[in-house]
Homo-oligomer: A and B are copies of this chain.
């Protein structure tokens, strides 16, 4: 319970945000192996004790920031999306949103990937999936009912529609590649790949 007294010193919101940004950055840079409260405080140039004013403990810190960021990112990805538009238009909009969002927020993108492979996975995943499911489910069922795509489960749909995109973005953000040199996701490559995925799903 958080009692609000009239004359209290306010929490420094810039500092709260600083913690959030540095926490994501440190976790992405060093992995869970290298992430410690003392290091985080040092990165922020604040006292460790302050972290314990904002968060109950280390788990709480990671989980809260993860949930917040998961919500923020999935909200951005659903912006301007109308599940009633045609299949091709809708899928294109979703690719546009997701690519933009993850390329503009590479740290957040890698941070959420990291949480997906951790003991925090379950809670984060449920939160994000729950945010997507209604809109995404409605969109897919509209497309099936209109005869634009064949019936399939939401899991299969998600895997075919988005896993290739997420993989390309991951290669791009990690400057990695199956071949030698670093992979760069250009607009050209993005929309050519979109074409392939569209062909896979459309009747």
Contact = CB atoms under 8 A, between A and B. Distances in A.
Given A179-B133, A200-B196, A33 B153 contact: no
A179 B155 contact: yes
A interface, by DSSP: helix, strand, loop or mixed? helix
Contact of A159 (B118, B164, B179, B201): B164
A103 B176 CA distance: 26
Interface string A117-142: 11101000100010011001100000
Interface string A172-196: 0010111100010000010011001
Interface residues of A, number: 47
Contacts of A167: 158-159, 163
Contacts of A52: none
Nearest to A130: B178
Nearest to A30: B119
14 contacts: A33-B119, A116-B117, A121-B174, A125-B176, A133-B179, A152-B192, A153-B183, A155-B168, A155-B177, A159-B163, A159-B171, A160-B164, A160-B196, A199-B199
